[in-house]
Structure 1
Amino acid sequence: MNSNVYTELVTVARVYQQFEESATTLLQFAVVPVLKILILCAFGLGLASSYVNILPAQCRKLLSKLVFALFLPCLIFTQLGKAVTLQSIIEWWFIPINVVLGASFGCALGYLVALIVRPPPQYFNFTVVMIGIGNIGNIPLVIIASICRDESNPFGLDPTVCNTNGVAYISFGQWVGAVIVYTFAFHMLAPPKTVPTNDEKALVIKVEGDKDVNELSNGTASNVNDTDSLHVSLLRSCQPTKLQKVRQGVARKWRWLAKSSLLKDICQPPVVSSLLALIIGATPTLKELFFEEHSVFFFFTDSLNMLGGAMVPCIMLVLGGNLIGGPGNSELGLRTTVAIVFTRLFLVPPIGLTIVQTANHLGFLPANNKLFRFVLLLQHSMPTSILAGAVASLRGHGAKEASAILFWEHILAIFSIAIWLILYINVLF
């Protein structure tokens, strides 16, 4: 009898020990990456403080441009080009779809939240974007690098293979996120339009018009009638044909497209590097020339790889430096700020989990690839994209409010990301 009790106690002790070790491992993989992010951000915050002042606002702006124009494209090109093949492009097709679905459902949820909390009218679209557009690049790269660095990572992969594949998955969806930010978010974050008064309209006509137009606005009715009659007679004597109208319309559209900054905004360095990596990685001959050791152009790729290694620490320093402003003098109000932060960190991830689990049950995801599903889940669990804040600053509307949202989200992300990582590891394993 005593032996049976002893055996049961030993069994319970072993189960408890295994549970304790499992819980400790889960907390390690969930909390440690976020702590590393905060430490890097703390360095940036300290360097940007008035006591040190090594990273003032202008330096952070230049460093941010350097990251997105050089370091990030180099990292995407080397990691994505090395891991991608024509077959993997076909297998990874759900990654960009996941990004689009995440932004769509997130913005729909943001629209509902904006209807409920009723932010200031000029920040209605701002609320939708801050909830719907997540950070699918910078922080996931840091988390993947932190988890894969350990040889006993939960995915059972070699650290190098784990990091390369993880970065490739993230990069494969990042170009889609960049297109969404520089098109949809760029349009949504436009400053609110004000209707000019009659005096303002008259002033615009007088300033922008030429001499003849000003004379028409202040001149006699006879001059206006003469001009109108001359204008009408010219139109009647020379009416374009349908073919000429089509050609003129196409020419106007082409001139508008050439002058528009839309193409320039879409063709950002990360997007271009992603496309080049996909083309070269999917072409076996080109891939051997650039990514095989001792190949002709491997020295070039290896140089880009060294530059790409500076991306993660630099972007974290910039993020930490940007938090120096704190909440600032935001005009959103407490209710709207709390609604945006809570919705982005705690209500959007369950939607993403539902999307990924549904896709997995439907057979859309590669079988037995836990790292792949983990990256998909990360794309739904991040704070608002830093690029959204950059676009708000670029548009000149909501820059202080975006800084406040990013400040609170990244402070609270240590708790939210840890919770979701623990849940995801439990779901995957």
Structure 2
Amino acid sequence: MEILKLFVIALMPNLKVLLLTVLGSFLAMNRFNILSESAINNMNTMVYFVFSPALACSSLASTITLRSLIALWFMPFCIVLTVVVGTALGWLLVKITRVPYHLRGLVLGCCAVGNLGNLPLMVVPAICEEKSNPFGDKNLCYKNGMAYASLSLALASILVWSFAYNIIRMYSTTKNISNEKVASESDAKTLPKCSAQTMAIETDETSHNNNSEDHHEIETYVVPDAKKKMVNICNILEKEKVIKYLKMLCKWSNLKQLFPPTLIGALVGLIIGVVPQFRHLIVGVSAPLFVLQDSIIMIGNACLPAMTMLVGANLLEGLKGERVKFSVLFGIIVVRNIALPVLGVATVKGAVHFGIIHHDPLYEFVLLLQFALPPAVAISTSIQLFGIGKGECSIIMLATYSFAAVSLTLWCTLFIWLVL
């Protein structure tokens, strides 16, 4: 009976995610067309530039302090461990299943980064609000749970938009770079032709100079004009080639790609939460600039339902004919729902056993939960922004979240039983 109660407690948050996903699919149907293709693209842009940075900033600023950041040092370690191991297993999966080149970033991102933002913010507070929650006082559980989940969200935002996003960008822009290389090679091939034609003109000029004086007068005007045209064409091609190389260099050194909006929002929120002067000025009902924090919280609250509905809307596109190898789907499910949770149990319980972290059931549960989450929904947003592999991403999300509806509930039940 105790296990059955734990199972029901763990099931409720997952049902919320499923309901929002189904709502997104419902709104994207052709019959209603509320989430049309243009609406989905605009919504993805809003999530990337507005909602996600606001959520990361408000969550960190209101819940994280310097003392709590030091006390929760093991959480960043566990999250980085999931990314490193997930990436390694994902790369092994790519090699074994021979994933197409343009989809490698998608597969690596799905294996590397889990839904560390949405699900903990839904699962942990929902469990604390249950009448028979296993973590003690409801209010204390909710406060501490939100702090843990907010830190998880901030770290996830940094990893998704700096690591997974750039992996997807790298593989999605390879085709464009190769096209530029082909164009550059064609320009390089054209330059010798220009030189050869110029030499031919000079030769013709020399031969014509040996002819009669009448021909010499004609060549004096015609040949220099033709020569000038060919020289100008060659100079233009050389300038275009230099410009293309400069553009390629700018693409790889663009600081905007290294500091996405969510990362900037997380850093701002971390500074506000850690620095006491900023915290007293902005955070709290009695703070002079509380209206600023309240506005950011209102904007950030739209992030979770928007991203979850976008996953549901993108599922329909994946059901229109796109196909993904069963071995790829099976591999991602094994990595995210079996291999990483087993690693999490060994890591967290080992840390408690050797005294690396103090015994706190709720903290341990959040750490274990981070190992058992399906792929981050922000990966779907990244795919939408680049426009490559949208159908395949929808299929992967459909398969992983359908399986996670069962596996995550079972893992949560086991995790609660282990930490109590």
What is the TM-score normalised by the length of structure 2?
A: 0.78
Q: In the alignment, is the contact (CA less than 8 A) between 2:337 and 2:404 conserved in 1? A: yes
Shift of residue 36, structure 1, vs aligned partner: 1.2
User: How large is the RMSD of aligned CA atoms in angstroms?
Assistant: 3.3
| Amino acid aligned to 1:281 | G
Shift of residue 395, structure 1, vs aligned partner: 4.2
Mark the CA change 1:356 to 1:73 in structure 2 (over 3 Å): closer, same or farther: same
Q: In the alignment, is the contact (CA less than 8 A) between 1:148 and 1:162 conserved in 2? A: no
Quote the residue 1:133 is aligned against. 113
Q: For each residue in 1:350-386, what CA deviation from the matched residue of structure 2 results, as whole angstroms up to 9, or x when unmatched? A: 1232233333334343x23332222222222111222
Q: Does 1:265 align with 2:257?
A: yes
Q: Does 1:386 align with 2:377?
A: yes
Q: 2:321 aligns with which of 314, 317, 329?
A: 329
Quote the residue 1:306 is aligned against. 298
More deviation in 162-171 or 301-310? 162-171
Shift of residue 162, structure 1, vs aligned partner: 4.1
Quote the residue 1:5 is aligned against. none
Mark the CA change 1:78 to 1:148 in structure 2 (over 3 Å): closer, same or farther: farther
| Amino acid aligned to 1:171 | L
Q: For each residue in 1:377-400, what CA deviation from the matched residue of structure 2 results, as whole angstroms up to 9, or x when unmatched? A: 222211122233333444454332
**Which structure 1 segments of 5+ residues have no match?**
1-19, 224-253
Q: 1:41 aligns with which of 14, 21, 26?
A: 21
| Amino acid aligned to 1:343 | V
Q: Does 1:165 align with 2:147?
A: yes
Shift of residue 263, structure 1, vs aligned partner: 2.1
Mark the CA change 1:122 to 1:68 in structure 2 (over 3 Å): closer, same or farther: closer
Q: Does 1:289 align with 2:278?
A: no
Q: 2: distance between equivalents of 1:310 and 1:300?
A: 16
| Amino acid aligned to 2:412 | L
Mark the CA change 1:115 to 1:307 in structure 2 (over 3 Å): closer, same or farther: closer
Pairs aligned (count):
375
Q: In the alignment, is the contact (CA less than 8 A) between 2:124 and 2:146 conserved in 1? A: no
More deviation in 182-191 or 79-88? 182-191
Mark the CA change 1:258 to 1:158 in structure 2 (over 3 Å): closer, same or farther: farther
Q: In the alignment, is the contact (CA less than 8 A) between 2:103 and 2:171 conserved in 1? A: no
Q: In the alignment, is the contact (CA less than 8 A) between 1:191 and 1:395 conserved in 2? A: no
More deviation in 310-319 or 147-156? 147-156
| Amino acid aligned to 2:371 | H
Shift of residue 417, structure 1, vs aligned partner: 0.8
Shift of residue 414, structure 1, vs aligned partner: 0.6
Quote the residue 1:318 is aligned against. 310
Shift of residue 126, structure 1, vs aligned partner: 4.5
Mark the CA change 1:328 to 1:219 in structure 2 (over 3 Å): closer, same or farther: farther
Q: 1:426 aligns with which of 409, 417, 420?
A: 417
Mark the CA change 1:115 to 1:165 in structure 2 (over 3 Å): closer, same or farther: same
Quote the residue 1:251 is aligned against. none
Quote the residue 2:400 is aligned against. 409
Shift of residue 289, structure 1, vs aligned partner: 1.1
| Amino acid aligned to 2:147 | N
Q: In the alignment, is the contact (CA less than 8 A) between 1:106 and 1:132 conserved in 2? A: yes
Q: In the alignment, is the contact (CA less than 8 A) between 1:328 and 1:404 conserved in 2? A: no
Q: 1: distance between equivalents of 2:104 and 2:298?
A: 42
Q: 2: distance between equivalents of 1:199 and 1:192?
A: 11
What is the TM-score normalised by the length of structure 1?
A: 0.77
More deviation in 339-348 or 187-196? 187-196
Quote the residue 1:58 is aligned against. 38
Q: In the alignment, is the contact (CA less than 8 A) between 2:87 and 2:112 conserved in 1? A: yes
Q: 2: distance between equivalents of 1:259 and 1:173?
A: 26
Larger Rg: 2
Q: In the alignment, is the contact (CA less than 8 A) between 1:129 and 1:188 conserved in 2? A: no
Shift of residue 34, structure 1, vs aligned partner: 0.8
Q: How does 1:211-226 map to 2 (within 5 A)?
A: 215-216=194-195, 218-220=197-199
Q: For each residue in 1:201-234, what CA deviation from the matched residue of structure 2 results, as whole angstroms up to 9, or x when unmatched? A: 763446xx7xx776226443898xxxxxxxxxxx
Quote the residue 2:186 is aligned against. 203
